[in-house]
Structure 1
Amino acid sequence: MTAGVDPSFDYFSGTPPGKDPDTHSPTLRRHHQLLWNKELPTGGRFNLAPEPGAHLVYRSASGVFFLASDAITTRMRGKASRVRREIPNDDMPVYRGYTAGSTLVFPGNSIGRKMTINRARGLHPRIADRFDLTLECIRRHYLGELPNPLGDVMNRYADFFALFENFAGYVKFFLLKDLVEEDGKTVRFFHTFDDFRTPAVPKTKDEYLEYLRSSEDFITARSSTIDAEP
């Protein structure tokens, strides 16, 4: 287990009521430091330090990077509310809370007064805050493939993605292998994907339950991956 990181810890339990753990949980901030303060594939160490007015900051010869925490799984309570009403609570997959397996850091500073990655992926109708679709956009960014619904925002933060050299480096660094097929090149989508033509929000009860189960399976698998880190 990564020293000091308990993958079962729910960050809401250490956050004041009504507050967002991504901003207000000191445990989450410390876990990000413990998990990601390591050697980059392009050289140098990704040393994250808390600074006033920022969540975590990485200062290097490559530049200054302001990082913000964000959940990389969503149950789409609002976006899929119509479908959710059709499903009894007892049929819902168990929610295990906001844990290390379901969090990541992204650049948190706005460039040119435009949206950050977190905001763009939450608002884009072809992404709907889903991380599997976000990861596909990241893969396409590295390869220059189109279409890429988040292409513009990814390009704004190209210096950040360059730190990890390529898609394989990004996946390895952030312990995301559980969302990628054995070939290391194909994203494991949470439900049917057709080149961003299929709706990001599940439209039927079965689709939504499949999405939730796949999402929870990913969190469980990534938590085990984190637990196995030296």
Structure 2
Amino acid sequence: MTFCIDTTFDFHWDTPDGRDPDKYSQKLREYHQLLWNKELPSGARFDLRPEPGAYLVHRSSLGVFFLASEAFTTRLRGKAARVIRSIPAEDLPEYIGYTVGSTLVFPGNKVGRKMTINGARGFHPRIADRPDLTLECIRRYYLGELPNPLAEPLARYETFFALFETFRGYVDFFLLQDLLKDDGKTVDFFHPLGNFSAKDAVPRDEKEYLSYLRHSNDFISARNRRIDAWRKQVAATLHCREEFPG
């Protein structure tokens, strides 16, 4: 496996028609393995490998962690469908594709036959699958702040979040710094946050939706640049050998 990540690659390109790239894109799986096979804040390695019947798995003295690829960003096409129908197609920002900056891995195994984190954030009306609201819930989980609509599903995976020790450790590991404000502690919301009310989760008119979409695209582009810079830095430490480390 070469240590090469193309941040312009749309994972629909190597996915059979009608299939989910998070399950069927081989390149996406390779990218996740390349990106997240690295040291944790503790210095321990978080090595991931594909296994039969599983997406990517870590096994070590730290524990066993089954991870799944998920679309971290959302254009809210279903939840904001009423608003989107009123916007002329030419006024919508260009779709920049399902690139690596749009993705993340979450624990993929169910605990107690309950929803995974990704399922919970998608179905919860006060989160609406949004990445900024999801990250705010993760921030509050680490700090024990309330309210937190995802407190219960996040707590089910406490051993996973313990790997990163702190909120900042989680953000830095998964290269999510571009979802924070300049202080490095506060989430930079795509759409103003009230008190996690359902009416605030989905933009209610054209102006709000277009603003949300621009913020989302800006984050994806910034994270792609950050991932590309990280890849180049790692390649340099490997004496410019574009090889998979480990």
Relative to the length of structure 2, the TM-score reads 0.91
How far, CA to CA, are the matches of 1:120 and 1:42 in structure 2? 29
Which residue is equivalent to 2:244?
A: none
Q: Matches of 2:130 and 2:38 in 1, distance apart?
A: 27
Give structure 1 regions of 4+ aligned residues with deviation exceeding 6 angstroms.
Answer: none
Query: SS at 2:46's partner residue?
Result: coil
Equivalent residue letter for 2:178: D
Greater shift in the superposed pair: 23-32 or 40-49: 40-49
Q: Which amino acid aligns with 1:103?
A: T
Q: Secondary structure at the match of 2:77?
A: coil
1:7-156 maps to which residues of 2 (within 5 A)? 7-156=7-156
Alpha-carbon offset, residue 63 of structure 1: 1.0
State the match for 1:217 in structure 2.
218
Counterpart secondary structure, 1:29: helix
Shift of 1:196: 1.1
Matching residue's letter, 1:161: F
AA matched with 1:140: R
- 1:178 maps to what in 2? 178
8 Å CA contact 2:194, 2:200 repeated in 1: no
> Take 2:16 and 2:4, find their aligned partners in 1: how far apart are those partners?
21
Shift of 1:195: 2.7
| Counterpart-to-counterpart distance in 2, 1:227 and 1:63 | 30
Which one is further off, 198-207 or 73-82? 198-207
In 1, the alpha carbon distance for the partners of 2:203 and 2:209 equals 5
CA RMSD of aligned residues (A): 1.0
Q: Distance in 2 between matches of 1:140 and 1:210?
A: 25
Partner of 1:14, secondary structure, is: coil
CA distance in 2, matches of 1:127, 1:13: 29
State the distance in 1 between where 2:193 and 2:62 align.
36
Q: Which amino acid aligns with 2:7?
A: P
Tell me the distance in 1 between the aligned counterparts of 2:171 and 2:130: 16
Q: Compute the TM-score of the two structures, normalised by the length of structure 1.
A: 0.98
Q: 2:236 is matched with which residue?
A: none
Deviations, residues 207-229 of structure 1 (Å, cap 9, x unaligned):
00010000000000000000101
CA distance in structure 1 between the partners assigned to 2:95 and 2:63 by the alignment: 38
TM-aligned CA deviation for residue 43 of structure 1: 2.7
Structure with max Cα Rg = 2
Aligned partners of 2:181 and 2:78: how far apart in 1? 30
Gaps of 5+ in 1: none
In the alignment, is residue 190 of structure 1 matched against residue 190 of structure 2?
A: yes
Cα displacement (A) at 1:3: 3.1
Deviations 1:53-102 (A, max 9, x none): 11000112121000000011111111100000110000001111100100
Quote the Cα distance in structure 2 between the aligned partners of 1:195 and 1:132: 14
The alignment covers a number of residue pairs equal to: 229
How far apart, CA to CA, are the structure 2 residues paired with 1:173 and 1:214?
22
CA distance in 2, matches of 1:194, 1:101: 27
